[in-house]
Amino acid sequence: MKVIYHPRYEEVYSSDPAATTGRMESVLKEVSPHFEVVTAEPAAVDDISLVHSDEHIRDIQRSGLTYEVALLAAGGAIKAAELAIGGEPAFGLIRPPGHHASQCHCWGFCFFNNMAISIARLRKEGKIDKALILDIDLHFGDGTDNIFRGVPEVVYFHPEGRDREEFVDTISQVLDRARGDVVAVSAGFDRHEQDWGGLLKTEDYQNIGALVKRFAQRECHGRRYGMLEGGYNHDVLGMNVRALLEGMS
């Protein structure tokens, strides 16, 4: 498992919780002793244009610093996808997050849809036909769903559950039936018992990662990757990311 990162992800580009000081550093400190860290490169505008309108791109460009870091986040997602297709599981430790970014607008701390860009590029290059996106964030990824609505080859799944056991079991059941050439995880950690959602334990993320690995090995030659979305309690975020990566690797 390789972790894609860039020091510029540590820059505070806005006032939202995803951009707070120390958030990325808390994760990097936890995962870097255990996984190889690979440096991200910015995405090209042509990559962003695969899923976003020219007007939306221009709107983000006007933000200056946010635009620069958002290009790096999309580039980190692309790198994770490329590694996965090459046979190396990968995780984009990136920000800003992306799953609330639709073709023409964004909200929820997101600017470009990193996951959608990475999947769209793989499809454009003919490296995959079908993809399964598992979004474990507390919030529904309306941007990802909007972008791929009407694209039957890309399945977006956002599980729910009344308790942690039901949540993980729902993922297991769907993965048992699913198909795809790659599985990609929009990894939000704000469902944790010490974060906004108050539901999952750290061990649940490891179990989810193991389910993803099992699906990938059965259906898509082991091709799997993920990227950071939400998760705002710096005291537990790092260990939760590490748990997911241990399960996936």
Domain ranges of the chain: 2-248
Task: Work out whether strand 90-92 and strand 131-135 pair parallel, antiparallel, or are unpaired.
Answer: unpaired
Average pLDDT rounded to a whole number, residues 58-81: 96
Tell me the pLDDT of the chain averaged across its residues: 98
CB neighbour class for 117 (10 Å; exposed up to 12, middle 13-18, buried from 19):
buried
pLDDT at 53: 98
Q: Active site includes 192?
A: no
Percent of the chain with pLDDT over 70: 100
- Give the sign of the dihedral formed by CA 33, CA 225, CA 5, CA 8: negative
Q: Which residues pair with 154 in a beta bridge?
A: 131
How sure is the predictor about 31, in pLDDT bands with cuts at 50, 70 and 90?
Answer: very high
pLDDT at 195: 98
H/E stretch holding 154 reads: strand 154-157
* Contact call for residues 143 and 127 (beta carbons, < 8 A): no
pLDDT per position as a tens digit, 170-220: 999 999 999 999 999 999 999 999 999 999 999 999 999 999 999 999 999
Average pLDDT rounded to a whole number, residues 3-27: 98
pLDDT at 105: 96
Contacts of 40 (CB under 8 A, 6+ apart): 4, 5, 6, 9, 72, 73, 75, 76, 79, 92, 94
Average pLDDT rounded to a whole number, residues 86-96: 98
* Contact call for residues 175 and 215 (beta carbons, < 8 A): yes
In the block, which residue shows the tokens 């906004």?
196
CATH 3.40.800.20 is right for the domain spanning 2-248: yes
Pick the catalytic residue from 6, 99, 100, 158: 100
